[in-house]
Amino acid sequence: MQYVSLSETDAMVSVVCLGTDYYGSRTPPTTAYQLLDQFADAGGTFIDTSNVYACWIPGYQGGESETTIGGWMAARQNRARIFVGTKLGFPYPGTAGGLRASEIERECERSLRRIKTDRIDLYYAHCDDRQTPLEEILEAFHRLVRAGKVRFIGASNWLTWRLAEARLISDSHNWVRHAAFEFRHTYLRPKPGADFAPQVVTTAQLLEYCRAYSVTLLAYSILLSGAYTRPDRSIPTEYFGPDSAARLAALHAVARETEASPNQVVIAWMRQSSPPILPIIGGSTREQLAENLNALALELSVEQMTRLNEAGS
């Protein structure tokens, strides 16, 4: 496992992050513990969760993923080496969501209890809240950092201009800045006009922002739920753009050349991109997770990266 610094902080995290949205729900705790052990045994330290995971599944209320992670860390006595990122902002039973100061403070306390910890390493605004002043949002996060309940803050599914405005406001008040962003991103490009609401996809503008300010960018939904490799999973229609055929052909060609799976090529391409993108990987089985972790051994050549980047251009 390799490690990188989180933006311009002294925190070092693994170069891949483990997504846990179904842990404690679709993925029962026993299986989740096995996958968490597998990730940690491979040197993984960065774990991604949210207060809403997975309230959309019938019979679940949200908080199941955080509770599972907290139970695992307590059982393994490994809290000191695990870097946990969690989020708030979307509604789930018991809260209407949003980013009012009172909501941020209350949800932080709930997440701390579920994770069985005294601090959240990275606390994201999971979505934007245009009804609440940015000053109120940013000051509330800053107070949590000052109180020692949160180490670093992040934002997910925001428009780039809002992130830039937030940075200016934080600097003007000497408040903590966002140390990480999390967005939907994969090798295929969305077709023009594709709508992923409430999720937000990366844009050229966002990538340039992260390059300019050295902000760590994490990507979710990177493998399109297995659609790159599984015949029973179709590429989402939102990615049927004018260049999708050319990019899929380039992806599969590089996979054949490197004797890797298309999934592994996507992960390697992401890590070698400019700016480097930290993939959130998953897997509901040990075999799937192993495939994703083994992508860390894949190094694409300059020529292969150029071909992948220019396909369909």
Contact 280, 218 (CB under 8 A): yes
> For 146-179, how does the pLDDT look when each residue is reduced to its tens digit (9 = 90+)?
999 999 999 999 999 999 999 999 999 999 999 9
Q: Is residue 276 part of a domain?
A: no
> For 248-284, how does the pLDDT look when each residue is reduced to its tens digit (9 = 90+)?
999 999 999 999 999 999 999 999 999 999 999 998 8
Q: Is residue 27 part of a domain?
A: yes
Q: Which of 32-36, 131-135, 191-195 has the lowest mean pLDDT?
A: 191-195
Predicted TM-score (pTM) of the model is: 0.95
Asked about 60 being catalytic, the answer comes back as yes
> For 64-121, how does the pLDDT look when each residue is reduced to its tens digit (9 = 90+)?
999 999 999 999 999 999 999 999 999 999 899 999 999 999 999 999 999 999 999 9
Q: Is residue 90 part of a domain?
A: yes
Please report the pLDDT score of residue 310 as a whole number.
96
What mean pLDDT comes out for the span 184-190? 97
State the CATH number of the domain containing residue 113: 3.20.20.100
**CA pair distance 211, 51, nearest whole angstrom:** 29
Per the structure, the count of domains in the chain is 1
> In which domain, by residue range, is 150 found?
12-184
Please report the pLDDT score of residue 8 as a whole number.
85
Flag whether pLDDT at 128 surpasses 90: yes
Q: Is residue 106 part of a domain?
A: yes
Q: Residue 312's pLDDT band (boundaries 50, 70, 90)?
A: confident
Please report the pLDDT score of residue 181 as a whole number.
98
Q: Is residue 110 part of a domain?
A: yes
Q: Is residue 238 part of a domain?
A: no
Q: Which of these is catalytic: 23, 53, 60, 92?
A: 60
Q: Is residue 53 part of a domain?
A: yes
Dihedral sign, Cα of residue 201, residue 279, residue 292, residue 252: positive
Burial (CB count within 10 angstroms: exposed 0-12, middle 13-18, buried 19+), residue 100: middle
Q: Residue 22's pLDDT band (boundaries 50, 70, 90)?
A: very high
Please report the pLDDT score of residue 83 as a whole number.
98
Flag whether pLDDT at 313 surpasses 90: no
Please report the pLDDT score of residue 231 as a whole number.
87
Contacts of 257 (CB under 8 A, 6+ apart): 304
Q: Is residue 288 part of a domain?
A: no
